[in-house]
Amino acid sequence: MTLVKKSEGIYIDDSCNDLLEKTNIIIFDCDGVLIDITKSYDLAIIKTTQYVLENFAKINDSITVDFKIIDGFKSSGGFNDEVDLTYAAIISLVAANQLEKDPTEFIFDVIKNSDSSGIVSVEKYLETQTDISKIKKQLSYPGTHHQNPLYQIFDQLFYGPKLYENLFKIKSNFSESGLIEQDDVILNEKLLNLLQTKFNSKIAMVTGRGKQSVRYSLKEMLDEFDLNNSVFLEDESRELAKPNPQPLFDSIKGMGDGITLYVGDSMEDFIMAKKVTDMGSKVIFCGIIGTSKNPQEKLELFQQNEAVLVLDSINLLPKVLNLEYTK
C-alpha cells in the first residue's frame, strides 16, 4: 500500500477510494483530532513529571520532557492515556538518575524497548536496569483513579481548582488556572452539519477522555454525537483502554454496523481500528497529523504501518468524502 499526496494535506492510497464512498458510520478520537492538546494535555504531562521528580524523587536537575519524548512513547502504541505516559517518563528519569546515565539518551532507550503493552513494557525493561521499587511504591500507579497521587496531581493541574472540585468533590492543592483552558478546539458546527449530510446520526466518539472533560471543551457540539454509542474511556475500566478494540467494536454495532471511518491521531487508534477489522467489522483508519509537533514523522509512521488515509486536519474530511464545504 502506498500513500500518495493528492493535494495539500491529503495523503491517500487509491485502494480505499471505493470503500470511502460506501462508509456510513464515522467515529472520532478526541485529543489531537477534534481538539489540539499541545498546550493542554501535553503541557500537563510536562508539568506533572517535573513536579513529581522534584517533590517525590527529589531530583531537581533532570531534563524537561518535550514533544519528542511524548511522541516517542505514543509511537509505541501503548500510551493513549497521558497519565500512563507521565508515569513512564517519571520512572524512566528516576532510573536514569540512579544509574547516573544521560537522561535524554536513557529515556529514548526506554522508548525503543516499549511496546503496545505500555507501562508494563517500560517497567519490565527498567527492572532489568535498576531497582525502581521506591518510586513505584510512592506513586502506587495506577491504583484507584481518584485516590492515586499521580492521577490527582495530573488532574489538578489539567482541570484547575474549580473544575477539579466540581468533578471529583475534592479540593485541589494547586491554585493556578487549569491547562484545559488551553484546549484549542478544531471541530466546528459547519463541519458537523456537513458530515451529517452523509452519515446522518451515525457520528460517534471513542476517546480516552472522560465525558465531562470533552463536554467542557466541545460544549453543545458534543450533543451532535450519538452519545449512546460513544465511549469515554477515562470513565471506564483500564482494561478497555486503547488499543483494546472492544469499545470501538461495540460503538459500531450499536449504530447498526456497516463500513466505518475511524479518525484518530495515534498508533493506539490505528491498532484498535485494525483489530476491529480483524473482528469482522470493516474500519478505514484516517490518521490526523496536523496537531503533531512533527507531522512528517507521524506521516511516515502511519505509512510504515500501511495506513490508507492520512490528513493534516479533520477540516479536510469533506474534500476527501466529496462533500461540498466552505469553511
Q: How many Å apart are CA 1 and CA 12, to the nearest integer?
A: 10
**Model confidence over 46-104: pLDDT tens digits?**
999 999 999 999 999 999 999 999 999 999 999 989 999 999 999 999 999 999 999 99
**Model confidence over 260-271: pLDDT tens digits?**
999 999 999 999
User: Does residue 327 carry a pLDDT above 80?
Assistant: no
In this predicted structure, what is the pLDDT of residue 144? 84
Q: How many Å apart are CA 150 and CA 208, to the nearest integer?
A: 17
Phi-psi region of 214 (alpha: psi -120 to 50; beta: other; left: phi over 0): alpha
- Identify the residue with better confidence: 325 or 104: 104
In this predicted structure, what is the pLDDT of residue 146? 79
In this predicted structure, what is the pLDDT of residue 145? 80
Phi, psi torsion values for 7, nearest 5 degrees: -160, 180
Q: How many Å apart are CA 83 and CA 14, to the nearest integer?
A: 38
**Model confidence over 112-126: pLDDT tens digits?**
999 999 999 999 999
Q: How many Å apart are CA 167 and CA 121, to the nearest integer?
A: 32
Instruction: Report all structural domains of the chain as residue ranges with CATH numbers, in order of start.
Output: 4-36+184-320 (3.40.50.1000), 41-181 (no CATH)
